[in-house]
Amino acid sequence: MIFAQDHTHQVTKNYYEKKGLNATALWDVATETGEIAAAVLVPTTKTIHYAHAAAQLVRREAFKPAAMHSDTWPSKSDFWDLLFQKKLQGRLGLFHFIQRITRTLKKNHTDHFVAINALLTCIYQYNEQDYENLLRTLKEGSLSGSGKKYTDDDIAELKRSKLFRQRYDKYL
């Protein structure tokens, strides 16, 4: 079993009387099946504010994870080692791993998108069947509302820009 833990601030923005509850974030744990294993309103992202909920979660008989994804890993790893007696493997989530790298790159550099695309190609791959279907529909012109048919050169140029990911990541 794998789980992910995170703090979400957006949830509390419309919360009724959140100041009275002293809630600025929601600490949540999601399992690999997408189920929410824990959700607690907290005043800050400090460990002390969700430690009790985390300890209660660990005590559940059916909750025996082998790995945890977190947007802050390896920060707070000592806390998780204590709870799981060093039997839990911590991981930085893919999105946050990529963000830590790409935030250091100059966005106005002429090779920015070439570097981003090369990095992302090294880190993950698209589902081959989905990718082939996307390329086929671009060449046929059946994807865009205008009916524009893309050539191999058009697609290669599009992939070197941010437009390819902005427009077509949802299909991949």
In 3D space, the residue among 93, 117, 95 whose CA is nearest the CA of residue 105 turns out to be 117
Residue indicated by tokens 């008989």: 61
Helix axes 128-140, 152-159, angle to 10 degrees: 120
Q: Is the dihedral of CA 33, 34, 40, 45 positive or negative?
A: positive
Output the average pLDDT for the chain: 89
- What pLDDT score was predicted for residue 59? 94
Binning pLDDT at 50, 70 and 90, where does residue 172 land? confident
What is the C-alpha separation between 167 and 156, in angstroms, rounded?
14
Q: Is the dihedral of CA 150, 155, 161, 163 positive or negative?
A: positive
Binning pLDDT at 50, 70 and 90, where does residue 144 land? low
Q: Is the pTM of this model over 0.75?
A: no
Q: Which residues contact 115 (CB under 8 A, 6 or more apart)?
A: 105, 109
- Where exactly are the structural domains of the chain? 2-93, 105-171
- The CATH number of domain 2-93, selected from 3.30.1540.10, 3.40.50.970, 2.40.50.140, 3.30.420.10: 3.30.420.10
